[in-house]
Amino acid sequence: MLYKSVISLALTCAFGLVSAPLLAQTDEPEKEQPTTQAQEALPDNVPGLLVKSNEAYAAKDYLTFRRALQSLHEKRPYNSDYMYQLVIAHALLDEKTPAYDLMLRMQKQGLAYDFNANEGTLNIRNTQVYDFVNDLMEKAAEPMGESEPAFTLPQNVLMPETLAWDESRQKFLVGTVAEGSVLAVDKDGKVTELITANDENGMWSVFDLLVDPARNRLWVSSAATPVFSRFSAVDKGRSALFEYNLETLELIHRHPVPVDGRPHILGSMALGPEGEIYIADRALPILYRKAAGEAKVEAVMASAEMVSLRGIAMQPDGGIIYLGDREMGIMVVDIKGSRAAKLATPATLNLGGIDGLYLWNNNLIVIQNGISPQRVIRLGLDQSGTQVVAVRPLAVAQQEFDFPSFGTVVGDELYYFASSQMVAGAEDAKPVTVLRTPLDSSADLVNPDMKWFMEQKAKNAEKGDKSNEDNQP
């Protein structure tokens, strides 16, 4: 089938917006032209636009199909599936110039697609411009960068979702979603169970672990999810932060998210300089904080600009928090100034499909599994910490990659899961390998010379060839 099935959507939450932005994003998509009286009004939300695009394609109403995809791209500029489908929509309407322009933009962002595999591109093929860009995009799927297996978890470790380094034990800690377990793993892969969800501690699926050796604390974010082996419908939507003694593993306190009738999944955590804990909610785009010495978990920020929060990282002084959103890229949150904005990025950077997000020497380390190719990249930040000034691929399209997800930074290396059993499901899951990738790579992301391509476009414009039918040198 030409058009991909409707993508599952995360819940959105239209809470109050934060105050004025720090910096504006620099890679805005092209805006759709104003609707004429002859054009049908489109829905103003992503689910409605997805339905409309599917209906229009099935009815061969390619104009509406293209308009719906253009609106989806405007709302979710990092979603590479929407970009791919928009190219197809342009092709079905024989709109060569916008199709080539979007293909080029995708290529500059390092995305890998072979448009020859889709019959919908027949109208725009057989030109030098098309072949040039499509060949480059095919090459983007080739592996690059460094990674090597560190260890492989046993088959019975089901749905590992978080990885942390425990300096006191000189072991990795692994949290699982299926059993709600916290496991210690040495560098040879030997596993020891430390904590398991039970009636006494009240834990559910484990989504993140945070080790605070200075205060002898182990923090566990946990939520009741249907994939949890002991899930009960009465707990649906509940989530809490669990505080353990790092040395003895005694449960010190349980910090629940207030029950408000909405689903919550406390996920990735960041530790502030005073011992405060910041937690991203995966179910709703909310940032929570548990202040040091306080029992309450309180919401400190929510924004309609965020959709599906995953990774979180914090500057050492606690002034800036980075929130990775699978659909919207990276949000920069100025905690002291109560301001937030998208991280300023070059147009050549696509930040879709983020899971893991980490800070290393004023660089953001990003694990992306929701784009093609899947990759680990390093983003150099300016002195303000609000703008990307360098992009470096660390590991791209590695053989072991099958939805790489979360990890942890140890020294100058990133340890991370090469695959995610959350996608395959526990029954069909293969053992998860932890990869190791060095973070001090110095190779900048370099795109091929686009001079030839731009010359062809200029020649076409001079000839007044609106359809780019020839594209001959």
Q: What is the 3-state secondary structure (H, E, C) of 315-334?
A: CCCCCEEEEEECCCEEEEEE
* Alpha-carbon gap, residue 201 to 174, rounded angstroms: 18
* Alpha-carbon gap, residue 12 to 285, rounded angstroms: 7
CB 269 within 8 A of CB 278: yes
Other CB atoms within 10 A of residue 72 CB: 24
* Alpha-carbon gap, residue 440 to 117, rounded angstroms: 37
Which residue carries 């998210």 as its tokens?
257
CB 323 within 8 A of CB 342: no
pLDDT at 147: 94
pLDDT at 469: 45
* Alpha-carbon gap, residue 191 to 284, rounded angstroms: 33
* Alpha-carbon gap, residue 90 to 138, rounded angstroms: 20
pLDDT at 457: 56
pLDDT at 330: 96
Nearest to 330 by CA among 291, 381, 398, 263: 381
Q: Which helix (H) or strand (E) holds 434?
A: strand 433-438
Domain formed by 147-438, architecture: 6 Propeller (2.120)
pLDDT at 471: 42
Nearest to 393 by CA among 80, 111, 76, 77: 111
Residues of the chain with pLDDT under 50: 1-28, 35-37, 464, 466-473
pLDDT at 189: 84
pLDDT at 29: 53
Whether a cis peptide bond, with omega within 30° of 0, leads into 373 is yes
* Alpha-carbon gap, residue 343 to 291, rounded angstroms: 26
Other CB atoms within 10 A of residue 461 CB: 12
pLDDT at 430: 86
